[in-house]
Amino acid sequence: MAHTRTPSNFYKPLAIGAPDPYRAQPVRLERMIHFVPPHIEKIRAKIPEIIAEADVVLGNLEDAIAADAKEAARAGFIEMARENEFGGTGLWTRINCLNSPWALDDIMEIVPAAGNKLNVIMLPKVEGPWDIHYLDQLLAQLEAANGIARPIGIHAILETAQGVNNIEDIAGASPRMHGMSLGPADLAASRGMKTTRVGGGHPGYGVLADRDGSNKDDTRAFYQQDLWHFTIGRMVDACLHFGLKPFYGPFGDFSDADACEAQFRNAYLQGCLGAWSLHPSQLAIAKKVFSPDPDEVAFAKRIIAAMPDGTGAVMIDGKMQDDATWKQARVIVDLATLVAEKDPDRAALYDL
């Protein structure tokens, strides 16, 4: 406790003239965080089309951008921020990690040039609350000096063993915290997991069905398991505990749309609000997975209609409903309502 700000100070701006921090994260639809490499001119030319399709557009400056393209990516991001109107679509950037030679210039150049358009900075390889405090203070100073009207959020990537161990301290480090994404590639390396994949399962990770005595010809079933189940659950609990938004991160095998969809759906069912899309095909997958299923929405609406004040117990189609399922139904209907505001086709499917 001695090392945390008191409740009365927690929501004060960290620099005189910086905007007040949000007390709750703004309600926004963020089904996918669509990554673009901003140094590529051909991609920058497509930003208006991407804005129309994606909930969040993110200019990536970190991994996957070669060392000799870092400055061009930063300049390209500033250009794409300046030259486009984003409307209800979020504009984020993933800066380089704090121990790299590029992070400080990323922050110092982008905030003055594009801070009034930037919603969120994604911070990679967060190890503990000290990383958040550093960026928090620096952003407040830059916001104050540059007349930035809204606080810029921080979204941490959960991708080191130390970061996972410090997850609650990271989540509670600042009111600037927007949420977290699972980074399965770096996390696998940091933990010493024996996989070369970016997200998804592994054929070796699973459980073998019992021997059944009569079975002499070795036909025991093997059930592959989700390698990320534990960490996603841990992340969802930490995020929701602090009022933040949890996301699944990247899925590297663009050729396997089914496996991508399955990984995204596991994350969605466990509580995540979105995932990264690294390829246009994944944008469509995320849109499908992170928008509630119309049948589920219809059933949730029946629960709410049957229990107008959210209390009591009723039966619907042989299934018991009570205050808790009413709350589950609210989660689905609130999400459907948010989707419907943006997406007329789905609004019709949801009858909203």
Residues in the site for ligand GLV, rule: CB under 6 A?
63, 124, 157, 159, 183-186, 198, 249-250
Structure tokens of 187? Answer: 């996390």
Q: Is the CB of 175 or the CB of 201 nearer to ligand GLV?
A: 201
What torsion, rounded to 10 degrees, do the Cα atoms 324, 329, 334, 340 define?
A: 170
Tell me how far, at minimum, the Cβ of 200 lies from Mg ion, in Å. Answer: 15
Q: What, of ligand GLV, Mg ion, none, does residue 250 touch, CB below 5 to 8 Å by kind? A: ligand GLV
CB of 191 to ligand GLV, least distance (A): 12
Q: Which does 200 bind (CB under 5 to 8 A by kind): ligand GLV, Mg ion, none?
A: none
SS3 state at 280? helix
Of 69 and 198, nearer to ligand GLV (C-beta) is 198
Told to check if 106 binds Mg ion by CB under 5 A, we report no
Question: In a 10 Å sphere around its CB, with 0-12 CB exposed, 13-18 middle and 19+ buried, how is residue 278 labelled?
Answer: buried
Kindly state the tokens that stand for 204.
Answer: 């070796």
DSSP 48-109: HHHHHH-SEEEEE-STTS-GGGHHHHHHHHHHHHHH---TTSEEEEEPPPTTSSSHHHHHHH
Q: Is 79 in the site for Mg ion (CB under 5 A)?
A: no
Neighbours of 30 (CB within 10 A): 26
Whose Cβ is closer to Mg ion: residue 59's or residue 183's?
Answer: 183
Nearer to ligand GLV, 185 or 306 (CB): 185
User: Which C-beta is closer to ligand GLV: that of 113 or that of 275?
Assistant: 275
249 binds, among Mg ion, ligand GLV, none (CB under 5 to 8 A by kind): ligand GLV
**CB of 55 vs ligand GLV, minimal distance in Å:** 19
At closest approach, how far in Å is the CB of 181 from ligand GLV? 7
Number of shown-chain residues binding Mg ion (CB under 5 A): 3
> Buried b vs exposed e over 129-162: b needs ≥16 C-beta within 10 Å?
bebbeebbebbbbbbbeeebeebbbbbbbbbbee
Specify the 3-state DSSP secondary structure of 32: strand
Among 55, 79, 136, 186, binds Mg ion (CB under 5 A): 186
* 183 near Mg ion, rule: CB under 5 A: yes
Shortest separation between residue 188's beta carbon and ligand GLV, angstroms: 8
Q: Which is nearer to ligand GLV, 148 or 188 (CB)?
A: 188
The residue at minimum Cβ distance from Mg ion is: 186
Residue length of the chain: 352
Q: At how many degrees (to 10) do helices 294-306 and 323-342 cross?
A: 130
Distance separating alpha carbons of residues 140 and 274, to the nearest angstrom: 27
Lookup: tokens for 173: 């480090």
Residues found near Mg ion in the complex (CB under 5 A): 159, 183, 186
